[in-house]
Amino acid sequence: MFSELSLRIEAILQWLITTFDEPLWNLTIVILLGVGLFFTVTTGFVQLRLFPRSLREMWFGRAAEGSSLTPFQAFATGLASRVGVGNVSGVATAIALGGEGAVFWMWVTAFVGMASAFAESTLAQVFKIQDKDGSFRGGPAYYITQGIRSKSLAWLFAVIFIFTYGCAFNAVQANSIVEATKNAWSWQSEYVGVGLVVLSALIIWGGIKRIAVFSSTIVPVMALFYLIMAVIILGMHIDMVPQVIAGIYRSAFNFDAAAGGFFGALVSKAMLMGIKRGLYSNEAGMGSAPNAAAAAHVRHPASQGLVQMLGVFVDTMVVCSCTAIIILLSDNYGGEHLKSISLTQNALRFHIGEFGVHFLAFILLLFAFSSIIGNYAYAESNVRFLKNKTWVVVFFRLCVLFFIYFGSVRSGNVVWNFADTVMAVMAIINLLAIVWLSPIVWTLVKDYQTQLKAGKEPEFKLDAYPEIRKKVFDPRIWK
């Protein structure tokens, strides 16, 4: 029964991809970069000026009260969704198709994306609501409803978000786990899929608090192991690093190899692939991290905006750069015959032997599984926005578990392309929303900085801003 159902769903998804994917992504890339630049300039380069402050906010933020999250737990939950397949196979694909110059454009995308991430997560804090158990919920669906006063647009976003994170992205993560473990240990996809379903069910039935505890424990550990391996490889080839960096910058501005389609006359393959895979990895402006940011208990909305901005930096500038270094220091990274996970595994085999293949499979298993949990946490928040009923949440959880299995046993191309298509729609809605609400972002940045200059620990007083107070559904949060 499940096999026949998965085949029918695959056919439907293939039609959606063929019809909508390319035009949607053409538009999405332009809007994402444009909005990132917009917030970079209008906030006075917040990602540079307040970067040291973001580190302090993450480590020394207010402790959680009741069922709410600490800033670090919200940061780790957001990072759990960001750090995953995009950092391993996404970087590899960008380099394979766009050359080493794609890495530079991933850095550029992350830099401007940090400003978008700050804006969306700050807005999520302003417009969050509080449940009976004391926990907070929020995200794009909430700030669209309250800030823009468009419930229909908020509902559309929530529905697309649920499909993207609860279903499509989790299918991608499961598919990647299957590929990596099959290459390393010849595990059968069906058995891996069942195992992922069981493990995921055990965690998601524990609620957001258990998800946060799991993420805040496993994400730093797995990222540390991956970074240690990258540092070891860097040390083994330290004499080649200047040459690799020079190659990245030199290839970044080589426009001889132009991209096809809409961008053919405007950008190179390096730029196009770097932008696409950079955005897929760090998700800045996609509307994902605000769901975790809203769950944190902080004194000022901008505080959590800074924390989530830091997540983009760690994801791309640190973790993605580690993958790029591993690949570019290897003997073979050109051509389409080696891409995705196989390219990264080949690079590790070159550096440390067969152990590298097994090591990457294990790390990817942790990365992807933590992303499944983070993705679920985001999607559940939007389910509760639409209908906060127990039976609805239970039905949604069953759908998530089905798509985890679906991603484990179906074609990787279909799974990845479906994720790209629905993600594009979601991103366009969210980016237009945060631009609409940009005056509120500017007000909060100014308020935060004014208090810092006065030697105070920033604390937001909603009553001081009556125009914002009129839009907020639950002003008691900011008393």
Q: How far apart are CA 442 and CA 388, in angstroms?
A: 32
Structure tokens at 425: 């729609």
Q: Which CATH architecture has domain 1-443?
A: Up-down Bundle (1.20)
pLDDT lower than 70: segments of the chain? 1-3, 61-70, 73-83, 207-220, 255-267, 332-339
- 452 CB burial (10 A radius; 0-12, 13-18, 19+): middle
CB-based contact 475:131 (threshold 8 Å) = no
Per-residue model confidence (pLDDT) at position 302: 95
Label residues 226-239 b or e (16+ Cβ within 10 Å = b): beebbeebbeebee
- Please tell me the chain's helix, strand, coil percentages from 3-state DSSP, rounded to the nearest 5: 80, 0, 20
Structure tokens at 124: 């999520």
Residue with tokens 């998800």: 211
124-154 pLDDT per residue, tens: 999 998 887 777 888 999 999 999 999 999 9
Q: pTM, whole model, 2 decimals? A: 0.86
Per-residue model confidence (pLDDT) at position 267: 63
CB-based contact 92:343 (threshold 8 Å) = yes
305-324 pLDDT per residue, tens: 998 899 899 889 988 898 89
Domain coordinates in residue numbering, the chain: 1-443
C-alpha triplet 42, 43, 46: angle, nearest 5°: 145
Q: Which of 314, 315, 325 is nearest to 231 (CA)?
A: 325
Per-residue model confidence (pLDDT) at position 295: 83
Q: How far apart are CA 340 and CA 345, in angstroms?
A: 9
Q: How far apart are CA 149 and CA 146, in angstroms?
A: 5
Per-residue model confidence (pLDDT) at position 68: 58
- CA-to-CA separations, 311 to 98, 142, 279, 290, 421, in angstroms, rounded: 25, 22, 13, 12, 24
Per-residue model confidence (pLDDT) at position 266: 57
CB-based contact 312:114 (threshold 8 Å) = yes
Q: Which of 427, 419, 106 is nearest to 277 (CA)?
A: 106
- What lies within 8 Å, CB to CB, of 270 at 6+ separation is 98, 99, 100, 101, 102, 104, 105, 251, 252, 254, 257
463 dihedral zone (left: phi>0; alpha: psi -120 to 50; beta): alpha
